[in-house]
Amino acid sequence: MRHRRAMLIVAAALFVAAGAASSSDRNRTSSLAPAIERAAKGERCVEDTPSMRRNHMRYLEHQRDATVHGGIRGARHSLKGCVDCHASQRTGSVAAQPTDFCTSCHTYAAVKIDCFECHASRPVPAGGGKP
């Protein structure tokens, strides 16, 4: 029963996503994806929004190299930072539901990332947890 309800919620979210994509986004070439859940903490992103849309994967890649090979942590483009600001208020995650921040765009763009198999997709409480 509970499972069925969850399925319905997912189905509804997908329906909304599809609707947004077909109605509003068709006419807005500047937009990369349907605006499903874009609420974020903070005044602004770590770079300006157009740069983030275009280049966030490159920033993350550089940050990973800097951390893993250079030992730099807590830096500007950390994945933890993305999660802290962009986690959904409803699900608490950036990638638990189709409507969550990272997933909403990636589903639309047919991008698959494995990052959250290792990294927490939810803000980690101060003092511990996975990287």
Q: Dihedral of CA 103/25/54/108: which sign?
A: positive
Return d(Cα 76, Cα 124) in angstroms, integer.
17
Tokens representing 115 are 């990052």
Locus of tokens 């539901």: 97
CB of 34 to ligand HEC, least distance (A): 9
CB of 102 to ligand HEC, least distance (A): 3
Nearer to ligand HEC, 2 or 74 (CB): 74
Note the residues at the interface with ligand HEC (CB under 6 A).
32-33, 38, 40-42, 44-46, 49, 52-53, 56-57, 59-60, 63-64, 67-68, 73, 77-82, 85-86, 94, 101-102, 105-106, 109, 111, 113-115, 117-119, 131
CB of 4 to ligand HEC, least distance (A): 29
CA angle 45, 17, 24 (to 5 degrees): 80
φ, ψ (nearest 5 deg) of residue 6: -60, -40
* Short-list 100, 72, 71, CA closest to 85: 100
Nearer to ligand HEC, 7 or 49 (CB): 49
CB of 10 to ligand HEC, least distance (A): 19
Nearer to ligand HEC, 4 or 26 (CB): 26
Nearer to ligand HEC, 23 or 58 (CB): 58
- Cβ contacts of 47 within 8 Å, gap of 6 or more: 55, 59
